[in-house]
Amino acid sequence: MIKRSAASAAAMMALAFSAPAYAGDNEGKIQIKAFATGVLPNGEITQVQTNLVGAPAGSDSRTSDSVVPTLAIEYFLSDNISIETICCVTPHDVTGSGPLAGAKLVDDAIILPATVTLKYHFDLGGVKPYIGAGPAHFFIFSEGVGASARTLGATRVDLSNEFGLALQAGMDIPLNDKGLGFSLDAKRYFVGTTARFFAGNTVALQTKHKLDPWVISGGVSYRF
């Protein structure tokens, strides 16, 4: 009995591995995407909390756009549901607007947008659109005091790390039956940061900012 059961199990395993693969079964659990990505943040001031430098009323700021390579790694829980994370860092400068137009406030701030999204995929045959959402945590580091802020006496600047939300939509387009594809992806983040400009050990200017970047990507994918 045991020998017959073992033989039957072996036969079933051999049949499973030798059976032809069909759509939905042969696409694999893991998908990797290599993207060119545009990061388009806002950066406007939403609240002035400390203003010892006398910045004029109506002063505002903007954050520069950035184009960087990114990598997305995705794991499929089922044919329609997956979990995805991304890997990238993006450099940005912050400049003034309004009465501070053209002022260089922050140089070379690096953002690491740690993000995990839960995605739902639709199968329309050749094109597979998806939507997703999930938490994000922006780590901001390496920020430097801009030339204009330095002339006002700022010696150090700090942009706070913050949690936020990411909404996502895109599509995967298979290019062959071996897992290669082309992908388009758009994310909208809802996250802010607090900027603190120090003069020595004193916070001379503290402002809250809305980052809320659009992150637009296109590139190749491979599913296995």
Q: How far apart are CA 173 and CA 101, in angstroms?
A: 43
Q: Other CB atoms closer than 10 Å to residue 69's CB: what's the count?
A: 12
Question: Which pLDDT score, from 0 to 100, does residue 16 have?
Answer: 33
Beta-carbon contacts of residue 132 (< 8 Å; ≥ 6 apart): 84, 117, 118, 119, 120, 166, 167, 168, 169
Question: Which pLDDT score, from 0 to 100, does residue 23 have?
Answer: 40
Residues in the chain: 224
150 vs 5 pLDDT, higher one: 150
- Residues 66-101 have pLDDT tens digits of 999 999 999 999 999 999 999 999 999 999 999 999
Burial status of residue 112 (CB atoms within 10 A of its CB: 0-12, 13-18, 19 or more): middle
Quote the Cα angle for 161-34-86, to 5°: 25
Beta-carbon contacts of residue 24 (< 8 Å; ≥ 6 apart): 79
The answer to whether 221 touches 32, Cβ cutoff 8 Å, is yes
pTM: 0.85
202 vs 2 pLDDT, higher one: 202
Domains and CATH numbers, the chain: 26-223 (2.40.160.20)
Helix (H) or strand (E) holding 33: strand 30-40
pLDDT-derived band of residue 26, with 50, 70 and 90 as boundaries? Answer: low
pLDDT-derived band of residue 17, with 50, 70 and 90 as boundaries? Answer: very low
The answer to whether 96 touches 103, Cβ cutoff 8 Å, is yes
Question: Which pLDDT score, from 0 to 100, does residue 27 have?
Answer: 76
Mean model confidence pLDDT for the chain: 89
Using CA atoms, how far residue 134 sits from 33, 97, 129, 165, in Å, is 18, 32, 17, 6
Q: Residue 4: is its pLDDT beyond 80?
A: no
Q: What share of the chain is helix, strand, coil (3-state, %, to 5)?
A: 10, 60, 25
The answer to whether 109 touches 132, Cβ cutoff 8 Å, is no
Quote the Cα angle for 222-219-29, to 5°: 25
Burial status of residue 126 (CB atoms within 10 A of its CB: 0-12, 13-18, 19 or more): exposed
Mean pLDDT on 89-115:
96
